[in-house]
Copies of this chain bind each other. A is one copy, B any other.
Amino acid sequence: MLPGPTNVPDRVLEAMRRPMINHRGPEFHRLHESIVEGLRYVFQTKGDVYALTCSGTGGVEAAIFNVVDPGDKVIMPVGGVFAERMAEEVKSVGGGVIEIPVEWGRAVRVEQVKEALDSHPDAKAVALVYNETSTGVTARGLKEIGELAYKRGVLLIVDAISILGGDELKVDDWHIDICVAGSQKCLACPPGLALISVSERAWEAMKARRTRQSFYFDLLACKRFYEERRETPFTPAIPLYYALDEALKMLREEGLERRIERHRLCASALYRGFERMGLKLFAEPESRSNTVIAVEYPEGVDDTKFRSTLRDEYGVHVAGGMGKLRGRVFRVGSMGVVSKDDVVYTVEAVANTLNKLGFKVPVAEVIAEAKGVFS
């Protein structure tokens, strides 16, 4: 139950065993087309989509490096580790960050973005993290932010690494110009690929640029190679392409709406179970993520001891806090192929672990509470 890499179904693991193929040959072209079709479905876009051989952070680097010239202003709400990382990327290419400081555990308000746009009519882009993996916060106002940015002619760049496939995200309808996701999160694929969508407006901005920041992450080259030959500019991680293709097929078999509903139910059961234990949830109620659940430790419960007991005695892996939340919270990933059984078992294991560590929890009632969500 990590916030990525998540468990990978056998079908997807099995797909990786296929022999290598020439990435400049017809078999690869067909595989690539199939992946693009699957990605368009999950991103809900008719636009361009790519699978880059790198981690999600590499995908964010591609998004930023292809759009931001030195001196460009980018409006960025910052309320967690991954938003901070994205802001560093902007600064590292000489971009100016117009930061909207957001309290950790809360989401940016649409009004704040509007004010920043009013004060900085020359901004080139708004860039934000839709689902902040470090705090378990989802920016629920993304649709409205997209409309605002679109009306002002400002690009919208979204880090959706830990949420694509697990919650609402409509790239075209919401006017998202560049959207980045990771293979190892809600798609239940192994890590190693960043998935990225690019709008027409983003292509125009890229073509108009004065500089080029990266050779490896050149999205215009990705576009050229895909359109002309159904290929990638550089050798792709072929086994991961096999895996992604299979994972996207499984997602289409389930259906995106049903997958999102399953994520909602599972997250809801976790939230209710943890609350019934008397634990404090880190995210404000209206911004709670359906894919990453951050929970504050009660007084006297030690992070390392809690997570190692949970892992060694119950086989449940959860993550610790990041940045200034290290030691203060634990984070449960509720992503990918997560099921009712996984969730109820996790709630029970956390309850038992807390009891062992001296924090009294009514285990049976907690389990009933979590199960209740599914009935």
A13 lies within 8 A of B16 (CB): yes
A-B contacts, 6 listed (Cβ < 8 Å): A2-B22, A7-B20, A13-B16, A22-B319, A54-B216, A56-B234
Interface centre among A54, A89, A235, A236 (most CB of B within 10 A): A235
Interface of chain A residues 38 through 97 with chain B (CB within 8 A) = 53-58, 61, 85, 88-89, 92
Query: What is the interface of chain A, defined by CB distance below 8 A to chain B?
Result: 2, 4-8, 13-14, 16-25, 53-58, 61, 85, 88-89, 92, 182, 184, 190-193, 212-217, 233-240, 243, 311, 317, 319
- What's the nearest-Cβ distance from chain B to residue A88, in Å? 6
Q: Are A57 and B234 in contact (CB under 8 A)?
A: yes
Contact B13 A184 (CB under 8 A): no
* Interface contact A215-B89, CB-CB below 8 Å: yes
A236 to B182, CA, bound (A): 12
Structural contact, A214 and B215, CB atoms closer than 8 A: no
Which B residues touch A319, using CB under 8 A?
Answer: 22, 24
Question: Contacts A17-B16, A53-B55: A237 and B237 contacting too (C-beta < 8 A)?
Answer: yes
| Chain B, residue nearest A317 (CB) | B22
Q: Which listed residue, B2, B4, B14, B85, touches A215 by the CB 8 Å rule? A: B85
Task: Assess whether A239 is in contact with B239, with CB atoms less than 8 Å apart.
Answer: yes
Contact B17 A5 (CB under 8 A): no
Q: How far, in angstroms, from A39 to B284 measured CA to CA in the complex?
A: 47
Contact B16 A235 (CB under 8 A): no
Contact check: which of B6, B182, B239 meets A192 at CB < 8 Å?
B239
One of B53, B61, B317 near A53 (C-beta < 8 A) = B53
Contact, CB under 8 Å: A239 / B240: yes
